[in-house]
Structure 1
């Protein structure tokens, strides 16, 4: 079978129990050169279980309460079910319990992941080069579960000397079809291959792959930076940016984070807004509660620049007339109009409207007023759903009340029925700058218990 693509993988025996301060590179070099073993060669890739690095680096901590250790390592909770938490840890990894492990460590202690797994991998690579004179790649591995898939597998959390991603975009497949989205997670595939021979409980923390030298970057050489001549980004490159992660949120946490993401945005980029995303937000809006099984929401989408300018010009003229009638000076009027320009800065506008279809009419005015209040509350619930859904689409928004002060003008310009009540306008677009940090509010200050 000479000439066929192939590689060999084996577990490296002879690694002793690791203690704080041990030199992992020297332990691996000693084990690899034992009698009867093939040793290490240029182009080999080593898969090193993160646990032995954690022990060597003193990441064993006293923790009678494992949950407290998880709290310290986590930066946000992605999903929770009973005592199990899937979290994002300080390395940006989404994993169970932040990688805090209570196995293979004395009672009353837990293992934390290495402080910097990429740096750990670089130290091992450099140590093996200095000790054995070989150019190898190193992948630091840990065990992950996966969304929508049963079972566990090892993945790369640190790497050195390895092209962790193989970007095939721009090439073609065997049939000549262009590859537009194919980026292979090479380091994760290596980690899984190593796990097949290391096992989870066999006491074999290191595996070697031979025959895939094309994934190893050239030797650093004397005086050169690590990875010189090759793309040595480390495993951090495998962590998807939040902005590109379609599956960033978990279960109930998704609702809370989406609500938190909803911020009033007043500066937008010129990027066009996807009308499909706005329509999906409308679909979320109309799931809001409403009285008498009614549907009191209507959403007018101003997708053309002409419709937006025509409406905003008419509203501005009506507002100026009102301000003059109230006795404001021209200078004061000009200042107020400038402050109201947030709607003009947005590439997309939505005018939510309230309709009273299905409302009840009562003999006394008090009950009729309450009836309208119920519908107004339902309209607000729909708009809130809409704003939160826009945030989930990574769109910024600002709900401005101005259309409520000139409803007749809005109805006339947009050609709306007489019974549609504009409930403000929502500016929609891509945020030009990140919003400032939200001022923390103590929920207890808004709660009364009886």
Structure 2
């Protein structure tokens, strides 16, 4: 077995944040992200040029297993393609709501008011299809794929929020239609479909309450 050569080493980044500012910075970041909400009613206002690309650049800075970076982000703004994605997603969602989903799952979704109709896939000015990249002719075997892609998506959502944009993490299943419509190879597997844009003027969201810190944090 050939042992690969180690990567050259460089100095670790010293971010230079004064200790006196550390708490304030992270608290302000938490307060800002605390305003982020899933939106299902989008305005058709276009997104400024370059914003989506820079948000994907943020996502691509995420750590990944063995540094394989097993992700692909496909930005879709073409209306006809968004219409096709909506039709395909709604077909899968009708199966989910009428046949696949157990009663307990449907009961959990009930208060959120979700159903098989997904107009946001057409009305949002952009969709970002996120794919896991598995072993293929031009891609190496990845490790910790879902963990890696999940972290990258978290970075992506935070970056889009920072730009003043709203998002929704849509997970129709199965998602093979993403490969068919977007022309992606078999080694790329759909992970999420994210509508991106500005909320419609009359958009509302459920009055959710997040768990307090003492319910989600354990110190040892």
Which structure has the greater CA radius of gyration?
1
Aligned to 1:394: 164
**1:355 touches 1:421 (CA, 8 Å); kept in 2?**
yes
1:379 match: 149
- SS for the counterpart of 1:406 is coil
Whether the 8 Å CA contact 1:296–1:379 is kept in 2: the answer is: yes
| Structure 2 equivalent of residue 426 of structure 1 | 194
Answer yes or no: is the 8 Å Cα contact 1:262–1:387 preserved in 2: no
Tell me, yes or no, if the aligned pair for 1:261 and 1:388 is still in contact at 8 Å: no
Q: How many Å apart are 1:436 and its aligned residue?
A: 6.2
Instruction: Return the match for 1:280 from 29, 54, 61.
Output: 54
Deviations 1:227-280 (A, max 9, x none): xxxxxxxxxxxxxxxxxxxxxxx8445533442232211221121122411111
SS of structure 1 residue aligned to 2:50: helix
- Give yes or no for the alignment of 1:337 onto 2:116: yes
The answer (yes or no) to whether the contact 1:398–1:427 under 8 Å persists in 2 is yes
Residues 37-69 of structure 1 show CA distances to partners (whole Å, capped at 9, x for unaligned) of: xxxxxxxxxxxxxxxxxxxxxxxxxxxxxxxxx
Task: Decide which structure has greater strand share.
Answer: 1
- Residue 438 of structure 1 and its aligned partner are, at CA, apart by 5.5
Q: 1:287 to 1:341 in 2, by over 3 A?
A: same
3-state DSSP of counterpart to 1:336: coil
Residue 153 of structure 2 aligns to a residue whose secondary structure is: helix
Verify: 1:256 aligned to 2:38, yes or no. Answer: no
CA contact (8 A) 1:292 1:359 kept: no
Q: Say whether the 8 Å CA contact 2:79–2:122 is kept in structure 1.
A: no
1:322: Cα distance to partner?
6.4
Alpha-carbon shift at residue 290 of structure 1 (Å): 0.6
Q: Which runs of 5+ in 2 are unaligned?
A: 1-16, 102-113
Residues 321, 399 of structure 1: alpha-carbon distance in 2 compared, 3 angstrom cutoff:
closer
* 1:396 Cα deviation from its structure 2 partner: 0.6
Q: Please, what is the CA RMSD of the aligned residues?
A: 3.2
Kindly report which structure 2 residues correspond to 1:218-297, keeping only aligned pairs within 5 A, or say none.
251-253=25-27, 255-297=29-71
Classify 1:323/1:81 alpha carbon distance in 2 versus 1 (closer, same or farther; 3 Å). closer
SS of equivalent residue, structure 1 residue 416: coil
Out of 213, 216, 219, the residue aligned to residue 446 of structure 1 is: 216
Which one of 110, 126, 138 corresponds to residue 348 of structure 1? 126
Q: How many residues align?
A: 187
Q: How far apart, CA to CA, are the structure 1 residues paired with 2:165 and 2:21?
A: 32
TM-score by length of 1: 0.37
Provide the C-alpha distance between the structure 1 equivalents of 2:120 and 2:21, rounded to a whole number of angstroms.
44
Quickly say closer, same or farther: Cα 1:318–1:267, change in 2 above 3 A. closer
Tell me, yes or no, if the aligned pair for 1:258 and 1:389 is still in contact at 8 Å: no
Tell me the CA shift for residue 386 of structure 1: 0.6
Match among 276, 290, 304 for residue 78 of structure 2: 304
Deviation at 1:390, TM superposition (A): 0.5
Residues 1:323 and 1:258: Cα distance change in structure 2 (over 3 Å): closer
TM-score (norm 2): 0.71
Aligned to 1:15: none
Q: Secondary structure at the match of 1:292?
A: coil
Partner of 2:175: 407
Answer 1 or 2: higher relative contact order, Cα 8 Å, separation at least 6: 2
Structure 2 residue aligned with 1:359? 141
Decide which moves more: 312-321 or 382-391: 312-321
Return closer, same or farther for 1:326/1:385 CA change in 2, 3 Å cut-off: closer
